[in-house]
Amino acid sequence: MKNIVLASGNAGKIRELSAILQSHTAGIGVLGLDDFPDIGAIAETGTTFEDNARIKAKTVAQATGLVAIADDSGLSVDALDGAPGIHSARYSGANATDEKNIVKLLEAMREVPDCSRGCSFICVMVAMTPDGHELIARGEWRGQVTRVPVGQQGFGYDPIFFDEELGITAAQMEAAIKNARSHRGKAVQELLHGWPEFWALALQELKG
């Protein structure tokens, strides 16, 4: 079996990516950062989602000698010039929580009219070989920022992200529906589109 590393300690993400890749690539296994504790925390010093995903993928690929896949994602609000963006997870400060982040964002949007509350969830995924060959995929999910949180599912900004087509927030969606529409789901599908060529190159590199 050929292993790759997902630059995450999230067991759910690892299981999900493993199932997807195994359905497209025979004999592949997906490890996580928990399998390489010596790597430690990776500083995300980039200025874009792509920068941060690339930093994580490069660090892990070089540290392990294996193909690494990393993603960076967040919420970009039109009326806030793209904020919170790459700072989505820690928008409310060093001790940020989902609830604190939502409170801060809704306060920043308090005077913004309904017609100007557009936003996007964005995800960028980077797969990288130890020698630096990369495959980049991007997914975007358009929506509107609600005025109050609605729904109990999901995490992060899901309770205030309104999908106009379905008429519900991301936090009101069943997991299967959310995954089919989400920014991360779209990024994975784009990654899979270029995966066969990338994986063939990676195998040649690893054999060399």
* Catalytic residue list: 72
Instruction: Please tell me the distance from the alpha carbon of residue 32 to that of residue 60, in angstroms, as a whole number.
Output: 10
Beta strands 118-128; 67-77: pairing state? antiparallel
**Contacts for 128 with CB less than 8 Å, ≥ 6 apart:** 54, 57, 58, 61, 67, 68, 69, 70, 134, 135
Q: CB pairs under 8 A, 24+ apart, for 53-59?
A: 53/124, 53/125, 53/126, 53/136, 54/126, 54/128, 54/134, 54/136, 56/7, 56/126, 57/7, 57/126, 57/127, 57/128, 57/134, 58/128, 58/132, 59/7
